[in-house]
Structure 1
């Protein structure tokens, strides 16, 4: 396979061969698609899948996958931060293999028998598990201590961190396995934000709190004490945790045969907040809630700033008006059931906060959305987490908030303060945890140039899209396409420190203050909208073709976080174009609504020696029911079509000969009822059934017919006709039924309703329409809803187009006599 990852399969056809551009391997997907890091994965067979987020993970085992900045070392990956003795064997304590171990060198002094683990990011840990070997020359350490740090610097220029003890032996340890949890701090709180359904989350976990005594920890040898107590509720089971990035293990006794096999840091789960920008996410924030991206980076050395000092600032009104808000698009939709917010406390990191002078704000609300839009096109947010303003002295010092809730879909988050005064807060982390696969991931292909990829430079017509996927119950994929010829570039300017600035400001700045300029390729104005979803593999291509570029969009989704779809392959089936290019126009460009008008569609093809030409035309006219007086001209000569038909808004014409470079005109008479009606044309060849090549507009909007009278009117009903105003349902064959017909303007997708009422306003009958293009026909035979003939008298026909706006209701009178 070439580095462009093309698989071209030759299939014999009537007039030419078909080729396939296939994506069915990791190489092909990575070369031609913008995949989502940390979301898209590949099976051993090269099939495209989704990453499953985990609960109760060993955060030490995958520490090497996370990179973070430091003061002295630059950007470093997690792993062994330092080992003052025997550093070569230190990685074996986080390799997942209890049979390998680290032993300090016996010749080193005891104060060097220290090893430190860097988890690569701050994690919400709930248990630490320590494994020791038990073999000749390698025994469990009898005396040791464990310290932990959040990873927040306490020095401006050095990698100095504040560590606190989380475990130490108080008598010699003889066990090969020791585990311990954490005692809640005064700053910690865990609560459910709604009535929880089912078990949810990790309900079976309860860690013992650390008391400083090895006998009160869960061990794997003698003196084993099983954790007891609060496993009867999800909140109680998830109330013991601590934010950790560094673990330091110190040996407290010079023991020559002492060894350490493994340290596991059991964390709540994979933090889905990480890598938002890499996944295509975006941020926007108010003027007083800066840097929301620092909430989502797993680094306690960065933080947002929300500071509005009440004694120095006047209220601007609401918190929204005061700029105390931010919004983030996570770049994908996740199933989420657990969230954690960490606010900086007094003395943490380089803070000069004194006790009580900083806070976690004066209350706030998190809103979430799965991406659903309102009728106005805005994101539809629901209230998610409400944190009221503290009212007690104890609540005043809370800084670490863990929220439990029922599993929900989250794509967008909107954070809003309750008040715009009283804030002096540094939010350091927002972590979120998922019970499984993401709910929805959307990826797009690169802009694919089929003629360049095929290597012959010839335009290609895409016939169909094929795909193969494994879809467990409650999962699906959606595939769409779009195409176009023009591409453009958008430039983003930055200053020296990386902030986005205007082009004018960038150009006016001294060169030493200018930063990078990013260039993005965007689609031009001639591109089609995204097509409807391809519901079946092998469906005909739904976008314009040929075009220079085509792009695909793939949506992978699940309604059950326990399962996800897997895509084995996606492929484009294409053939050489019938003609090199084809352009067309419609005249006249304006018409009166629902009035018979003579139109002429003009077509100008261009060919090369390899083109086969065409002998079929398809004119697509909105709401086409009939076309009268059709006349076809080829190279200025009138020709008689061999066949002509109308089907699904299309006028199909078979020509008597194959046309290559000659111009073609089709004159016809019809009525239009849609403003800005687009008249499209396609070329076909009788020797290639099912192949249609799109005709491009000769100039912008040259295939559009305007109906100015409709644009300036609220009229939705036209050509309203009653077959008779008198109904005589006596079976004599004269006026036994009355037919009502009308044309619907503008609201073509509306479903009109016609109801027959008596003079008192009571409903007598609901009529069912028959549609003929834009015309709706209703027939009443004088019977009520129960099938009985109504009494003689005057009856009203109430006509309702059922549209949101415009003049949608008309009334007509019918007399029943017999």
Structure 2
């Protein structure tokens, strides 16, 4: 290993001990502030040193911590859904997932639940070599290179996801539709228990799934366009869905699309005919449409507008009826993924920035506030920091996000007093996992 360890490790030096003088130090204790640690690296910086008949080298390391771990990951074995529902051999639809936990200090303590699903399992086997009257575990390759009289038993230890399984889903809300492809024969569940405070930890009390027969045997979908050049701008998208139904399938009369929807215009087509939706409900991240009829085998097309600010965002869709939801699977790999090549090529994390250059907070009701509007690109789940400073770099006020994601400065400092007229600096900072990105703009205060 190269030193310092590079590549995927974000490391911090903890201690550097010189042990060059006789008598050599044989024991070393180091105490550091509590921190999140996943890997510890050690090295002997100056090689080995001879002392009498022996050698001094790193022999044993003991690590002690306090409090709860920052992260604990619990992963289930693949679950046979049909067997769980009491009908072996018949595919079942996971219509809903629910979990209960204690996370009173959210987001300091939190629970994250993910799933994946598939139809094939691979067997986990252990191979043993006979050595006298004992058995020694070996690899599969080593086992089949042995002479037959040296081959011991083969033990089946369990099963693991096989070919064609989906990736881990996004994090679930505490109650919502199943986010992995369904119906499928098997599902796997993963729970992460996370805490930012070593003295407090979340507790998972239960994880529940609702199983039912599929609404249709299979339904696939695709989005166009899949490659766009406009970042965080309203653009028209078309989501097409193709259901395949068996006799007796109940069908569906609702469509839910998870996407950054904007505007108030939605068009619906069923089997090539334009139809009026029974209802339309829009949120900042979803579009819920009621169909005027029960659909089983007819194609469904939905046209809507959305603003995409992240490269590689997936437009997930579900069909449902009477509270039961079935996921729409992509008709081809990446068929529901939106790619923004201009965003992938750019290093910017902040786009479409608009800052009021001059405002007059004098109480006359005209131009009283400075408005800061921007889009956060490529980063999900982290709030930007927006603050006002004077020209000496002294903090004047930290701003909080307001309606429609806007930030507003009223010309006052942290104490609520109006600031003197002059030029001030607006700093916007976004932290990603890889780096920090900061933008500055000037704001003029005039009375």
* Partner in structure 2 of residue 550 of structure 1: 187
Displacement of 1:510 in angstroms is 4.9
* Partner in structure 2 of residue 798 of structure 1: 427
1:692 pairs with 2:325: yes
* Partner in structure 2 of residue 9 of structure 1: none
Residues 519-562 of structure 1 deviation map (CA, whole Å, 9 limit, x = unaligned) = 64334453342775886xxx445542433212346899xxxxxx
1:577 pairs with 2:232: no
TM superposition score normalised by structure 1 = 0.41
Residues 543-595 of structure 1 deviation map (CA, whole Å, 9 limit, x = unaligned) = 42433212346899xxxxxxxx998x975432222112111111222112223
Displacement of 1:715 in angstroms is 0.4
* Partner in structure 2 of residue 188 of structure 1: none
Counterpart-to-counterpart distance in 1, 2:385 and 2:208: 44
Counterpart-to-counterpart distance in 1, 2:268 and 2:235: 17
Counterpart-to-counterpart distance in 1, 2:364 and 2:173: 53
Structure 1 residue runs without a partner (length 5+): 1-361, 383-390, 397-416, 424-439, 470-475, 557-564
Cα contact 2:278–2:290 (8 A) shared by 1: yes
Displacement of 1:802 in angstroms is 3.6
Structure of greater relative contact order (alpha carbons < 8 Å, 6+ residues apart) = 2
Equivalent residues in 2 for 1:251-650, closer than 5 Å: 374=37, 378-379=38-39, 419=57, 444-450=76-82, 453-455=86-88, 457-465=90-98, 480=113, 482-489=115-122, 494=127, 496-497=129-130, 498-501=136-139, 503=141, 510-512=147-149, 520-529=159-168, 532=171, 539-540=175-176, 542-544=178-180, 545-552=182-189, 572-592=209-229, 593-621=231-259, 624-627=260-263, 629-647=265-283, 649-650=285-286
Equivalent residues in 2 for 1:758-777, closer than 5 Å: 758-770=390-402, 772=404, 776-777=405-406
Cα contact 2:350–2:374 (8 A) shared by 1: yes
Counterpart-to-counterpart distance in 1, 2:310 and 2:76: 33
Counterpart-to-counterpart distance in 1, 2:366 and 2:28: 71
* Partner in structure 2 of residue 651 of structure 1: 287
Cα contact 1:618–1:681 (8 A) shared by 2: yes
Counterpart-to-counterpart distance in 2, 1:669 and 1:566: 38
Select 1:782's aligned residue among 411, 415, 432: 411
**Distance change >3 Å, CA 528–CA 648, structure 1 → 2:** farther
Displacement of 1:742 in angstroms is 0.3
Cα contact 2:96–2:178 (8 A) shared by 1: no
Displacement of 1:463 in angstroms is 2.8
Displacement of 1:746 in angstroms is 1.1
Cα contact 1:459–1:580 (8 A) shared by 2: no
**Distance change >3 Å, CA 702–CA 810, structure 1 → 2:** same
Displacement of 1:676 in angstroms is 0.7
Counterpart-to-counterpart distance in 2, 1:464 and 1:721: 41
1:737 pairs with 2:369: yes
* Partner in structure 2 of residue 816 of structure 1: 445
CA RMSD of aligned residues (A): 4.5
Counterpart-to-counterpart distance in 1, 2:296 and 2:283: 26
TM superposition score normalised by structure 2 = 0.71
Cα contact 2:216–2:249 (8 A) shared by 1: yes
- SS of the residue corresponding to residue 496 of structure 1 reads strand
Counterpart-to-counterpart distance in 2, 1:450 and 1:660: 23
Displacement of 1:660 in angstroms is 0.9
1:667 pairs with 2:303: yes
Counterpart-to-counterpart distance in 1, 2:282 and 2:41: 47
Equivalent residues in 2 for 1:720-735, closer than 5 Å: 720-722=353-355, 724-735=356-367
Counterpart-to-counterpart distance in 2, 1:815 and 1:468: 49
- SS of the residue corresponding to residue 342 of structure 2 reads helix
Displacement of 1:620 in angstroms is 0.4
- SS of the residue corresponding to residue 521 of structure 1 reads strand
* Partner in structure 2 of residue 157 of structure 1: none
* Partner in structure 1 of residue 3 of structure 2: none
